[in-house]
Amino acid sequence: MRMLANNILVDPEGWPTQKLGSIILPDNQESKERFARGVVTEVGPGLWLHNGDRPPIEVSVGDHVLYFKASAAKIVVQGKEMDIVQEREILAILDEGDFGTHDKGDSDAAD
pLDDT in tens, 15-32: 776 655 555 545 666 667
What mean pLDDT comes out for the span 99-108? 51
Would you state the pLDDT for residue 18?
A: 62
Buried/exposed 33-70: b ≥16 CB within 10 Å, e otherwise: eebbbbbbbbbbebbeeeeeeeeebebeeebbbbbebe
Asked, for residue 55, whether it belongs to a domain, the answer is yes
**Mean pLDDT on 82-106:** 79
Predicted structure pTM score? 0.77
Domain that holds residue 62: 7-16+32-98
Residue 102 confidence (pLDDT):
56
Q: Is pLDDT of 55 > 80?
A: yes
Overall number of domains in the chain: 1
Q: Average pLDDT, whole number, for the chain?
A: 83
In a domain, 24, yes or no: no
Q: What percent of the chain has pLDDT above 90? A: 63
